[in-house]
């Protein structure tokens, strides 16, 4: 059995679904070493956008077309970063806050541009873990509610890397509560 290494992943996108909307940025860090990080901004491929989604992270598609990385290179760089920070005896576990959303874009882009997803077919959702650990209602798994309970030192700000760092802290705090 390979050792599981938790990777906190956050993305920003131009809309709600991959294939029609664009993956705009990727932020990742090792959960246990959040100073080991990956970040990139991608060139759009569809140019379809929900203005609200662009406003969340303050992205402009024309700026990304000029300054972003082409998606093939971005996904190759992402996979290379994972390979560089994991040994052959380790496997990456995708950890996200509302992981289904972030994982769906990453999965689509990995398969479309490099032919495979290094994370495989699943992800670990922090919101679900929190609900399982603390109980309550699904509506109580919003970040603001979790912050009140866990009191993390960091915060998210819709920058994919900062959000990945914040998520890593939330994940560690939940695990700490479970392991008491």
Catalytic residues: 158
Structure tokens belonging to residue 169:
């802290």
Q: Which residues pair with 95 in a beta bridge?
A: 8, 124
What does the angle CA 15 – CA 8 – CA 17 come to, to the nearest 5 degrees? 15
Q: Where are the alpha helices (DSSP H) in the chain?
A: 51-57, 61-67, 71-85, 99-114, 126-134, 143-150, 160-178
**Helix (H) or strand (E) run with residue 9 in it:** strand 3-13
DSSP assignment of 65-105 equals HHHSBPHHHHHHHHHHHHHHHS-TTEEEEEEETTHHHHHHH
């Amino acid at each position: 059995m390979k050792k599981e290494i938790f990777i906190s992943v956050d993305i920003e996108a131009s809309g709600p679904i991959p294939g029609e909307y664009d993956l705009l940025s990727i932020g990742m860090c090792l959960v246990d070493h959040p100073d080991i990080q990956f970040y990139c901004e991608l060139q759009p491929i569809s140019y379809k956008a929900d203005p609200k989604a662009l406003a969340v992270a303050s992205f402009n598609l024309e700026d990304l077309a000029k300054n972003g990385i082409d998606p093939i290179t971005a996904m190759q760089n992402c996979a290379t970063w994972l390979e560089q920070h994991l040994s052959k005896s380790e496997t990456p576990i995708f950890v996200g806050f509302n992981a289904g959303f972030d994982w769906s874009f990453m999965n689509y882009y990995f398969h479309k541009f490099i032919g495979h997803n290094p994370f495989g077919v699943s992800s670990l959702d922090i919101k679900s873990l929190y609900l399982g650990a603390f109980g309550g209602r699904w509506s109580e798994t919003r970040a603001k509610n979790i912050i009140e309970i866990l009191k993390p030192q960091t915060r998210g700000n819709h920058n994919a890397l900062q959000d990945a760092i914040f998520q890593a802290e939330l994940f560690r705090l939940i695990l700490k509560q479970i392991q008491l």
